Amino acid sequence: MALSADYSHPIFIDSSYRNRRAFPLPSEFEVVIKPGTGQNPNDPLGIGYPMYQDGVSGSYQTGDAGGPGWIGLANGIDPAEFNNAYLGKYVEVVNPTTLISKGQSTVAGFIDPGSVTGTIPGVFITAPISNAATGDLFYIRQFTSVPQFRLKATTPYATGTTQITMTGGSLTNGTYTSSYLYNIKQDGTPSRISNYTGGVATVFPLDTATSIGDILEVYTVKDNESGMSLPGSMAAKSVMVNHRISLVWVRIPRRPLYVDMIDVPTSIQTTINILPFILIRFSNSTNGTIQSNNPIAHNAQFVLPIEELSTDIGEFFTLRCPEPIVIKFNPSEPIRFGVYFPDGTPLTFAPDDVNASVLEVPNPDLQICALFTVKRELN
């Protein structure tokens, strides 16, 4: 089915699902049509990997029977790291001796930190975990899944170790190959398991030492990179033809930006309000369409002036472009998307969502998304 000339097709771009290894910044990336199917994910996400871990404190309440409850935390969540990534995520409570899960729930909200320390002392959960106790291990995980395997180290392993004995692990060779091993008591990088034979895992060299009694967890992984879905009206396209492209809106985090200032020797943190405009790219290639005496603008499709935003509230702000453009475009090819400073460099936030070396999901507070409409031109 061909795309009707009078039909505007929406295309939604979201930096959350980019390949962060190839494109570390949410402000510049490529949207593939079909992601790769290699053994090693381009941007691995650990199924069950903890976003946050703590101990259960003496403050614990199950709530009404069958209803919600809350769990107090031994250390509490530092407000500096807290963001809405935890809301709705998977909660697990684990016995620290047997490593057996006591129950699961999801995060429904957060206990008011009060005015003393500001630390968030606990979380509300959607369903009570009735047998939780002081000293248990508490996790907030990315997905509704527990680790593939959990064990305590019976041998100390020095930094750089490549062979780990998986005491109590599977007897089947290859079970944990291509999974990741992580020491939950350390802040190091998870190590990929390249081979599992005879109860021994060959791992990427450990970047932190492991002591006897440290808890190790094995996580299966998925690839974060999602391909662009192609409805039937668009799938038949095989060549570039003229399309009328409209930028309906772009949603940008309300975060400080790193900007090079002529009167400052290094980049400084500032707000987007100081910029006269930003550039937006949406194309199959780097070719632009703008006629301008600004050589940087030649590689963009849209120029968005920056309005006064200082009175706005919320975590994001929205910019819109009233005028469409016509470019040679093929919806069945990868799409290049970018948001740039007037000097042509990608927007860089402080902080930015650039860490693809760990198994964490992208931080939703640091993503850029945009909605375009595409309409084929018949002339």
Please give the Cα distance from 149 to 216 (Å, whole number). 8
Which of 207, 230, 281, 309 lies closest to 25, judged by CA? 281
Question: pLDDT value at position 329?
Answer: 87
Question: pLDDT value at position 63?
Answer: 52
Question: pLDDT value at position 30?
Answer: 93
Q: Which CATH architecture has domain 50-141?
A: Beta Barrel (2.40)
Q: Which residues contact 27 (CB under 8 A, 6 or more apart)?
A: 15, 338, 339, 340, 346, 347, 348, 349, 368
pTM for the predicted model, two decimal places: 0.81
* Burial call 267-280: b when 16+ CB within 10 Å, e when fewer: eeeeebeebebbbb
Question: pLDDT value at position 260?
Answer: 64
| Burial tier of 125 (Cβ tally within 10 Å: 0-12, 13-18, 19+) | buried
Which of the residues in the chain have pLDDT under 70? 1-6, 37-39, 59-68, 82-84, 114-117, 187, 231-238, 260-270, 286-288, 309-312, 379
Which of 7, 55, 45, 13 lies closest to 32, judged by CA? 13
Which of 46, 55, 108 lies closest to 77, judged by CA? 55
Question: pLDDT value at position 132?
Answer: 87
Please give the Cα distance from 367 to 353 (Å, whole number). 8
| Structural domain boundaries in the chain | 9-36+226-376, 50-141, 147-223
Question: pLDDT value at position 187?
Answer: 66
**2.60.40, 1.10.1740, 3.40.50, 2.60.120: CATH of 9-36+226-376:** 2.60.120
